[in-house]
Amino acid sequence: MTTSSKTLGEWLEEFRQEAFRLETLDDYSKSGGVDAYHAFLAGEPQPEGYRTAAWTTTVAKAVRSGKRIYRVHVLARPLTDYLRFELSWGYRRNMAAGEEFFILDTTDQENPIPGAPDFWLFDERIIGTMSYDNSGKYLGTTFPDEDQLTAFLTYRDKAMAQAVPFSDWWAKYGE
């Protein structure tokens, strides 16, 4: 069942106050920015299209209008090649547009939200769960019924309670 007649893209444009994202995977390499990922691995500069991606415009517009876009990435060290790319190029690029990032590092602690899926939570009322295949390819989003909202709010709250701001984590562990 679904609680939304809107698509994920529409929610990302139309949310009213905040959009929260939980990331749990070590590899999203088949889901976008593929050329940039290959450039990163080859030690080349960021492609212009990656630096000026539409997502940065979406984020900047939302933040300018007083909205908040933030995410927590659950990860463990050592970082995969993809995470090194995502954190050093993607997160830093998106931060410049106003997105906030937090890291829940499970290297030396148990994951406080085992089994939590990747998801977006819009205005604490709409959930969009993200599906990926084993190679990091995005397969789609489903919108669970509101009876699951409490569980997703709990995932967010537990993740935020144990996550640290990305800049602090990167200063200590970044490459």
pLDDT digits (tens, 9 = 90+) for 127-156: 999 999 998 899 999 999 989 999 999 999
pLDDT at 175: 72
Q: Tens of pLDDT along 57-84? A: 999 999 999 999 999 999 999 999 999 9
CA dihedral (146, 152, 157, 159) in degrees, to 10, reads -170
Give residue 42's pLDDT: 97
Helix and strand numbers, DSSP H then E, in the chain: 8, 7
Other C-beta atoms lying within 10 Å of the C-beta of residue 31: 18
Query: Domains in the chain, ordered, with CATH?
Result: 8-173 (3.30.870.10)
pTM: 0.94
